[in-house]
Amino acid sequence: MKTYSSLINGQLVTTDRIHTVINPATGEPCGNITLANAVMAEEALTAAEQASKTYSKSSINQRAALIGQLKKMLLEHQTPIVELLIAETGKTTGIAEYDFNMLVDCLDYFIEEVKRKRETVIPDYDGNGFHYLKHSPVGVVAAFLAWNFPLLNLGYKLGPILATGNCVIIKPAQLTPLSTAYVGELIQQCNFPDGTVNILLGSAAELSKTICSSPIPRLLTMIGSTQAGLQMVADSTTSIKRFSLELGGNAPVIVFDDADIESAVNQIVDLKFSNAGQICVSPNRIFVHKKIYDKFINQITNLVTSYRNGSGDDSGNILSPVISERSLERLISLVDSAVTDGAKLITGGKRAMRKGFFLEPTLLTDVTSDMALFTEEIFGPIIALMPFNDDIDIFELANATNAGLSAYVFTDNRHHIATARERLEYGNILINKVVYSIQLPHGGLKQSGFGKDISHLTLDDLYDIKRISVS
C-alpha cells in the first residue's frame, strides 16, 4: 500500500504524519498520505508566486505542449489511476472512467478555448485613440476540491488554470486524495516550471486558513459546502481577492401531469443513484403531480428495486457505497426521522448487509416540506417524493430553499416551460432531459455560489482585464 506525498515547488514533500485512506466499498485501508502542514502551505504559495513569473509569460503554444505532455502521461497511466480512484471512492468503473475522462477532456477543451480567446478593441468616439482589453492571468489560484468526483473536480480547475497561464495550489479532499496525488506525481515529471501546480494533501481545518489568509492567491475557488465557502470568504480579508464558488445544491424536480413518466423516472433514478447520489446536482426534492403520483410511484418502485449494491466492475443496476461511516449514519438518520414524521418508506432505508458503507436503494413517498430530507442536501441514494396539485405555486416551492444549483422539470406544456425559464432561481435549469457537458456553464445562484465551472465562461474568473489605450 503506497504512501503519497504533497507536490510543492516541483518536489514531492513528505512529512511524518501519516493518514490512511479507507475504501468505502470494503471499509479497509487502500492507501496512505502524509499530511501537509501550514509551513508547507506557505512554501507552496511562495512557489506558485515564483512560478507565476515564468508561467504567466509562456505562449499558448508552449502551454499547449506542456498540457499535451500531461495528457499523454495521464492516458498512459489510466489503468492504475482509475483503480486507485475506485478504491478511494468505492465508485463503479463506469463512473470512475467518466471521472477520469473529464480530467483529460478538460485539458484539451480549455487550451482550445484559450486559442480562441479573442480580445476586444473598443471604438474611440473621437477617432484618435486605440483602446483594447487585454486578459492577463490573475497569477496564483487556490482551489479546494470535493471528494465526490476527485478527478473531474481536478480537471475543472486544472484545465482552465493551466491553459490561461495561472499557477495553483490544489487542496484535494482528505477523504479521496490518492488519485489526485498520483496525478501530482505525473505532473512532477512534466516540464511545467516548478511550482506551477502544487498539491497539498491534508486536512482543510489545518491548511485552509493559512492559504485563504495569505495575500498571495488572487483567486480562491472551491467545490464544496456553503459553510466552507463562507469560511473561505471570511478568512480571505487580509487582502482583496476574487472568488469562484461551486457550493451545495438542493435540486428540485417538478414532474407535471403531462410529462413522459417513463422518461422522467429513468432519468431521475439514473442521476440519483449514480455515484450513490453524491453529486451536487442530484435530485433532492421530487415533486410529482397528484394526477400521476400513484403511477409514478409504481414505475419508480420497479426501477429502484432493480438496483443492488456494488462497486467497481459489478454489472447491472449498481448502487455504490457512500463515502464514509459518518455519511451512512447521517443518511439512515434522515430516513428514520422522515418516517417518524409521516413519510412512507417504500423500500430500502437500511444499511446493506455487507462490508463497507452501503445504503440500500431507498425510496420514500409523502415527504413534506418541513422534513430535513427537503430542507437539506441529501447527498446520498435516497429518493424522496412529494405530491403536489394545481392549488399551489410549485415554482415558489421549488425556489423555497437557499440553494440554487440545478432544477429539473418534466412537461410538454409550453407555458410550464416558459414559467420554469423565467421563475426558477437556479443556475442549471434542465427541461425534460438531464444533460451536463463540458461546453455548458455549470454553477449555482443564491447560496449555491457564483462563478461558472467548465464552458468558456470559466475563463472569466482566471483573468484580469487591463484596458490599454494608446494615442
Residue from 36, 44, 114, 251 in contact with a copy of itself (CB under 8 A): 114
Taking the least distance from each CB to a copy of itself, the nearer of 142 and 178 is 142
Cell of 359: 445504503
Residue from 75, 121, 372, 392 in contact with a copy of itself (CB under 8 A): 121
Q: How far apart are CA 91 and CA 25, in angstroms?
A: 8
Q: How far is CA 240 from CA 203, 336, 344, 463, in A?
A: 25, 45, 50, 15
Q: How far apart are CA 151 and CA 137, in angstroms?
A: 23
Taking the least distance from each CB to a copy of itself, the nearer of 175 and 247 is 247
Using the contact rule CB under 8 A, the part of the chain among 83-91, 295-303, 377-385, 416-424 near a copy of itself is 416-424
237 contacts a copy of itself (rule: CB under 8 A): yes
Nearest approach, Cβ of 157 to a copy of itself (angstroms)? 19
Nearest approach, Cβ of 256 to a copy of itself (angstroms)? 13
Taking the least distance from each CB to a copy of itself, the nearer of 233 and 339 is 233
Using the contact rule CB under 8 A, the part of the chain among 30-38, 111-119, 354-362, 384-392 near a copy of itself is 111-119
Q: How far apart are CA 37 and CA 42, in angstroms?
A: 9
Query: Would you say 30 and 88 are in contact if contact means Cβ atoms under 8 Å apart?
Result: yes
Query: Would you say 421 and 414 are in contact if contact means Cβ atoms under 8 Å apart?
Result: no
Nearest approach, Cβ of 53 to a copy of itself (angstroms)? 11
Which residue in 217, 151, 171, 162 sits closest to 190, CA to CA?
162
Residues 37-96 that bind a copy of itself (CB under 8 A): 57-62, 64
Taking the least distance from each CB to a copy of itself, the nearer of 294 and 464 is 464
Nearest approach, Cβ of 400 to a copy of itself (angstroms)? 15
Taking the least distance from each CB to a copy of itself, the nearer of 39 and 230 is 230
Cell of 75: 492516458
Nearest approach, Cβ of 129 to a copy of itself (angstroms)? 6
Taking the least distance from each CB to a copy of itself, the nearer of 119 and 313 is 119
417 contacts a copy of itself (rule: CB under 8 A): yes
Residue from 49, 88, 105, 113 in contact with a copy of itself (CB under 8 A): 113
Per annotation, catalytic residue among 49, 113, 246, 360? 246
Residues 164-223 that bind a copy of itself (CB under 8 A): 218
Q: Is 280 a catalytic residue?
A: yes
How many residues touch a copy of itself under the rule CB under 8 A: the total is 86
What count of other Cβ atoms lies within 10 Å of the Cβ of residue 53?
12
285 contacts a copy of itself (rule: CB under 8 A): no
Nearest approach, Cβ of 71 to a copy of itself (angstroms)? 15
Q: Which residues contact 110 (CB under 8 A, 6 or more apart)?
A: 159, 160, 162, 163, 164, 458, 459
Task: Specify the amino acid at residue 244.
Answer: S
Per annotation, catalytic residue among 30, 106, 212, 280? 280
Q: How far is CA 104 from CA 7, 56, 199, 423, in A?
A: 20, 22, 18, 36
Q: How far apart are CA 440 and CA 428, in angstroms?
A: 9
Q: Would you tell me the crossing angle of helices 78-89 and 150-164 to the nearest 10 degrees?
A: 130
Residues 434-453 that bind a copy of itself (CB under 8 A): 435, 437, 439-443, 445-450, 452
Taking the least distance from each CB to a copy of itself, the nearer of 38 and 230 is 230
Nearest approach, Cβ of 343 to a copy of itself (angstroms)? 29
Residues 238-277 that bind a copy of itself (CB under 8 A): 238-240, 242, 245, 247
What is the per-residue burial (b if ≥16 Cβ within 10 Å, else e) of 189-221? ebebbbbbbbbbbbbbebbbbbbbbbebbbbbb
Q: Is 106 a catalytic residue?
A: no
Query: Would you say 165 and 137 are in contact if contact means Cβ atoms under 8 Å apart?
Result: yes
Q: Write out the catalytic residue numbers.
A: 246, 280
